[in-house]
């Protein structure tokens, strides 16, 4: 699925609560643009961006978005989901500096 297709999924499904995307995607936008589009239209969706090459700054990510370097472990993903879910349940508005930062356990 490319980014253009992915951004349309929440339009037809109300059960999308989490989007995990690589930065490098096909289509007219990359994963970063995809997450900005989703955050703008569906602010409650938990967003996790992954990449083996790029390391975006917190300013490049939408507010409250987690970033994981590849290769990541299941535990890294679980921690990003836990942190993001906890902040969403608490109803806090997360600014860019407060976005969950998850350190990969298997290396950078």
Please tell me the chain's helix, strand, coil percentages from 3-state DSSP, rounded to the nearest 5.
Answer: 40, 15, 45
Instruction: For residue 67, give the CATH number of its domain.
Output: 3.40.50.2300
Total domains present in the chain: 1
Asked if the structure places residue 74 within a domain, the reply is yes
Phi, psi of 92, deg, nearest 5: -80, 140
Residues 69 and 16: their CA atoms lie apart, in Å, by 23
Asked if the structure places residue 68 within a domain, the reply is yes
More confident: 108 or 45: 45
For the stretch 36-70, pLDDT in tens is 999 999 988 989 999 998 889 888 998 888 888 88
């Amino acid at each position: 699925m490319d980014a253009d297709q992915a951004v349309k999924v929440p339009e037809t499904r109300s059960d999308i609560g989490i989007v995990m995307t690589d930065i490098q995607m096909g289509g007219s936008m990359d994963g970063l643009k995809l997450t900005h589009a989703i955050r703008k239209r569906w602010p409650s969706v938990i967003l996790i961006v992954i990449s083996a090459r790029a390391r975006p700054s917190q300013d490049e990510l939408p507010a409250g978005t987690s970033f994981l370097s590849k290769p990541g472990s299941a535990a890294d993903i679980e921690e990003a989901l836990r942190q993001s879910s906890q902040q969403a349940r608490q109803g806090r508005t997360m600014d860019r500096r407060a976005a969950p930062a998850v350190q990969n356990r298997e290396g950078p």
